[in-house]
Amino acid sequence: MKILLIGASSYLGARLYFDLKNNHQIIGTYFKTKLSDNFAQLDTTNEEDIKETISSVNPEVIIHAANYSNVRSCEKDLQMTKLVNEKATEIIVNHSKKINCQLIYISTYGVKDISEKYSNIYTLSKLKSETIIKNSLRNYLILQPRLIIGMSPNILNDRFSNRLLNNINEKKGGEYDTSWRFQPTYIGHISEVLELVISKKINQQTIPIMTKEIKSKFELAKDIFSSFGIEPIPIDQHNQLPLVADDLSTLKRLNLPIYSYQEIIEKLIKEYKNANYFQSGL
């Protein structure tokens, strides 16, 4: 398959590029972080840039993983959030329609947290993008990970997983929250689901990807660090989010892989022990 991966320089995008590149002709884009000489520059706030990239690559599948994805930055810069998270999706949708390719949008399971009592600019912008896609396209898929953990060739971004890696390298456990409880997502699980949905030509689905078990950041850190002889420090950040859990019925219905928490912990420990493996070959 010829795939255009928008946001290959992100924490998630870099791992997707790494995992998919052997089986597909994949063209990755970056905006400011040129992780690889193979990546092409694309500013998703620039319509001409998007139009030119999509028409010249002419992909069969576009994976859209570029976003203003930090909750705090979104609260601070509403205009940029609108441009990068909503307007860009609209433009990508319009141009993917023209070449009749499939659009796979990386959303977040956080959209399920939105209620009368709770919302934030980031998740609202993701929900808006989901709505734009569902209302405009027939050839689409939406993936909804929760907090993503696992190695990526991008170890620069301020992501939970990269923080774990830094603690492992420095041999000292940092502080991890005990209050927010969620179903973690293993980064390699997203790549596997992508391989399968692309090859099975699955369409018009919204797919939550995560383990069944509900954990906190502290529990995750503790279970991973136990293999590296370090201990995380528990802190209570008083996260008030109500627990919204997924029953994994979409993964089951579509015959896609499901991993238990124990299985992902084993995979994660192996990945953190071989962290250098992900630093080559982008």
Residues contributing to the site for ligand NAP (CB under 6 A): 7, 9-13, 30-33, 42-45, 65-69, 84, 106, 108, 126, 145, 147-148, 157, 159
Q: How far is CA 197 from the centre of its chain?
A: 16
Distance CA 81, CA 97 (A): 23
Nearer to ligand NAP, 152 or 167 (CB): 152
Nearer to ligand NAP, 83 or 230 (CB): 83
On whether the CB atoms of residues 107 and 207 are closer than 8 A, the answer is no
CB of 187 to ligand NAP, least distance (A): 9
CB of 202 to ligand NAP, least distance (A): 19
List the one residue out of 242, 190, 255 whose CA is nearest residue 214: 242
Nearer to ligand NAP, 106 or 231 (CB): 106
Nearer to ligand NAP, 131 or 172 (CB): 131
DSSP one-letter code for 182? B
Q: Which residue is nearest to ligand NAP (CB)?
A: 10
Nearer to ligand NAP, 166 or 231 (CB): 166
CB of 169 to ligand NAP, least distance (A): 19
Please give the single-letter amino acid code of residue 31: F
Question: How far apart are the two ends of the chain, measured CA to CA in Å?
Answer: 18
Q: 87 Cβ partners below 8 Å, 6+ apart?
A: 45
Q: Which tokens belong to 39?
A: 């990546």
Q: At what angle do helices 261-273 and 187-199 cross, to 10 degrees?
A: 110
CB of 229 to ligand NAP, least distance (A): 26
CB of 153 to ligand NAP, least distance (A): 11
